[in-house]
Amino acid sequence: MSTAAAPAIRHYLQFGDFSADEYAHLFARAALIKKKFKTYEKHQPLTDRTLAMIFEKASTRTRVSFEAGMYQMGGSVVHLTTGDSQLGRAEPIEDSAKVISRMVDLVMIRTFEQAKIEAFAAHSRVPVINGLTNEFHPCQILADIFTYIEHRGSIQGKTVAWVGDGNNMANTWLQAAEILGFTVHVSTPTGYEVDQAVAGVRSSSSYKVFKDPMEACRGADLVTTDVWTSMGYEAENEARRQAFADWCVDQDMMRIAKPDALFMHCLPAHRGEEVEAEVIDGPQSVVWDEAENRMHVQKALMEYLLLGRIS
């Protein structure tokens, strides 16, 4: 019997968990995997592997992209929610992690506090993927940057304007900028700023804060936003509606950005709130590619976490 140590498990809990070199690999694999999908060529490196998906918040894109992606790669999925599992009846997260990870090969979790997914990962025998927490949404930014690259080439040295809440998406953009070498112009209402410590970035050199959202968009290569009220913050809905009224991405903001600037939104979107219909449904918007690419990049991510670098 071999006594060699098992390779360390890699988790994907925040964008900073991978290096620029690993992202280059993932983007290349995602492009190949997408091409195969489009030409009906089978890509089934995960035959007989099982992904458990745990949702403590609602989802359309994350569920469909992980579930369809896993089946396409030859594997299968188990779908759990707080309401239909013992997670909703106060079974400790550590115990749930020990049990679930003995039966599946990979776990994706969408939950509230980042601390919860970290506790799960610490007791898991298999890789854990963050499918959104209050603090981060790394799979979404993975898809967004892949989409940028598809349309415009490398994001290195480019400027991304973030207009809106200093939320999980904003935090993840800041982490990505630090790793991949671009700049984020952040404009949020007072009281909803990004917190560098929560975002987990080392310095402020890859982002710049603007009071005026128009100034954040000036000369940007990509303008992006998100809902005013994220899941879990619904009690603040009315206060947020008032505070965010001037943080609606409109055609003037797109005009002050670079002429070839793209618009992205992780969706779901509220037309007339964080974005004008003319922008999200306009020629600079790539939101549908962005949504589709969730599946392609996550297939590359699952392949990498389970099999390492294959070519």
The residues annotated with a catalytic role in the active site are 110, 137, 140, 226, 266, 294
Write down the residue that tokens 């994350």 correspond to.
62
Could you tell me the CA-to-CA distances from 162 to 265, 267, 282, 309 in Å, in that order? Answer: 10, 15, 18, 33
* Least distance in angstroms from the C-beta of 288 to ligand CP: 12
- Which long-range CB contacts under 8 A does 202-207 form with residues at least 24 apart? 202/178, 203/178, 206/174, 206/177, 206/178, 206/181, 206/182, 207/174, 207/177, 207/183
Beta-carbon contacts of residue 259 (< 8 Å; ≥ 6 apart): none
- Residue closer to ligand NVA (CB basis): 143 or 266: 266
Q: What does 60 bind: ligand CP, ligand NVA, none (CB cut-off 5 to 8 Å by kind)? A: ligand CP
Instruction: Please report whether residue 169 would count as binding ligand NVA according to CB under 6 A.
Output: yes
Instruction: Please report whether residue 168 would count as binding ligand NVA according to CB under 6 A.
Output: yes
Residue 7 neighbours by CB distance under 10 Å:
7
| Structure-block tokens of residue 33 | 């995997």
- Which residue of 46, 141, 266, 306 would you call a contact of ligand CP, by CB under 6 A? 266
- Which residue of 56, 221, 226, 273 would you call a contact of ligand NVA, by CB under 6 A? 226
Instruction: Please report whether residue 59 would count as binding ligand CP according to CB under 6 A.
Output: yes
Region binding ligand NVA by CB under 6 A among candidate stretches 21-29, 115-123, 162-170, 190-198: 162-170
Instruction: Please report whether residue 227 would count as binding ligand CP according to CB under 6 A.
Output: no
Q: Which residue is nearest to ligand NVA (CB)?
A: 230
- Residue closer to ligand CP (CB basis): 206 or 229: 229
Q: What does 161 bind: ligand NVA, ligand CP, none (CB cut-off 5 to 8 Å by kind)? A: none
Instruction: Please report whether residue 132 would count as binding ligand CP according to CB under 6 A.
Output: yes
Beta-carbon contacts of residue 292 (< 8 Å; ≥ 6 apart): none
Residue 271 neighbours by CB distance under 10 Å:
13
- Which residue of 231, 250, 289, 292 would you call a contact of ligand NVA, by CB under 6 A? 231
Task: Kindly list the strands in the beta sheet with 50-55, ordered across the sheet, starting from the edge strand earlier in the chain.
Answer: 76-81, 50-55, 106-110, 128-130
Calpha distance 233→304 (Å, rounded): 33
| Structure-block tokens of residue 278 | 């003319």
Binding site for ligand CP (CB under 6 A): 59-62, 132, 140, 266-267
Binding site for ligand NVA (CB under 6 A): 132, 167-169, 226-227, 230-231, 266
